[in-house]
Amino acid sequence: MTIASDAMPSSAAARAREATVRRFALTDALFRGLTRASAILVLVILGGVAISLFAGSWQALSSFGFSFLTTESWNPVTEKFGALAPIYGTLVTAAIAILIAVPIGIGIAVFLTELCPRPLRRPIGIAVELLAGIPSIIYGIWGLFVFAPFLQTAIQPFIINVFHGVPGLSSLFAGPPYGIGLLTSALILAIMVLPFITSITKDVFDTVPAVLKESAYGIGCTTWEVTRRVVIPYTRIGIMGGVMLGLGRALGETMAVTFVIGNAHRISASLFAPGTTISATIANEFTEADGDLYTSSLVSLGLILFVITFLILAAARYMLMRIDARTGA
């Protein structure tokens, strides 16, 4: 009787354990299926966007061929379209914006994590993050009515006079000081992407183990040496992610750029000259596109921007893989 009574609880416990294992297996399979479906959904959406862009741009690509990428002319009246000027403006403004924003953003992140007094870290960090929440149209209005007039009256004439007669730089900073143009657009973009780069860089700097930095300080390293030899190498992947996020924002920004770039379909060696970008061209002209070829040309610009962004992100990922492989070796 005692043996039977002891066996009953043990069999009940075994059944309870089996039920628990089955429940865990079911939830694990459900979780695996949901995550896999989410990943597949992202690929399906990406493929759908690419296919729709390619289908919408087929008429323009078949009509103009490769010359669509090498032609500067953009004339809706004669239906002669070329994407060279928007591509040039997109790449130039984004490159200048990143060149300006990356060192400033990393510098702010270093200050907040290593040098800033502790009572000021949180207020300054919140202020930087709030800049990311400002709508782009506000940046555009501010750039058009405040920043561009300031550049026109104070900065651009000074730069033109300083570099007048200097080979190379004189053509780069030549022309009348319009206030608006490629350089103004790039500066606005730099201000817009700065909070993204700073916030992400600061967050990844905070993940560096304190023992690594304390060991470096203990052997006599300065703050610059600790940052250059410990913090940045440890967080280079996160920093690159922040830079890529900022670059994606700079490449695809529309409203702020439309306000201050001048929207001129031409290529000029001067950074003070008006220009245009892919996003600004689409935003300005899509509602006025009254022909199939005109609409297809604008969709082709969207496809080109999609390809440019994909290639830049792929190149950044490949570079990170090379860095990791070299570090592991």
**Residue 327 pLDDT:** 62
CA dist 45 and 43 (Å) reads 5
Per the CB < 8 A criterion, the answer to whether 282 and 303 are in contact is no
Per the CB < 8 A criterion, the answer to whether 286 and 278 are in contact is no
Question: Tokens 């070829």 identify what position?
Answer: 293
* CA-closest candidate to residue 249, choices 191, 301, 203, 205: 191
Structure token digits, residue 321: 């893989």
**Residue 1 pLDDT:** 47
Percent helix, strand, coil in the chain (nearest 5)? Answer: 80, 0, 20
Residue 116 DSSP symbol: S
**Residue 9 pLDDT:** 59
Helix axes 278-285, 292-328, angle to 10 degrees: 160
* CA-closest candidate to residue 267, choices 182, 160, 210, 206: 182
CA dist 94 and 308 (Å) reads 12
Question: Three-state SS string across 207-266, please?
Answer: CCCHHHHHHHHHCCCCHHHHHHHHHHHHCHHHHHHHHHHHHHHHHHCCHHHHHHCECCCC
**Residue 119 pLDDT:** 86
Nearest 10 degrees: CA dihedral of 210, 212, 215, 220?
-100
Structure token digits, residue 114: 């290593």
User: Quick one: CA dihedral 252, 257, 258, 264, positive or negative?
Assistant: negative
pLDDT tens digits for range 291-308: 889 999 999 999 999 999
Determine if the pTM surpasses 0.95.
Answer: no
CA dist 188 and 207 (Å) reads 30
CA distances from 324 to 26, 77, 153, 183, 327 (A): 37, 53, 48, 35, 5
Q: Which amino acid is at 27?
A: T
Q: Give the residues of the chain that fall short of pLDDT 50.
A: 1-2, 329
**Residue 6 pLDDT:** 52
User: Quick one: CA dihedral 63, 67, 69, 73, positive or negative?
Assistant: negative
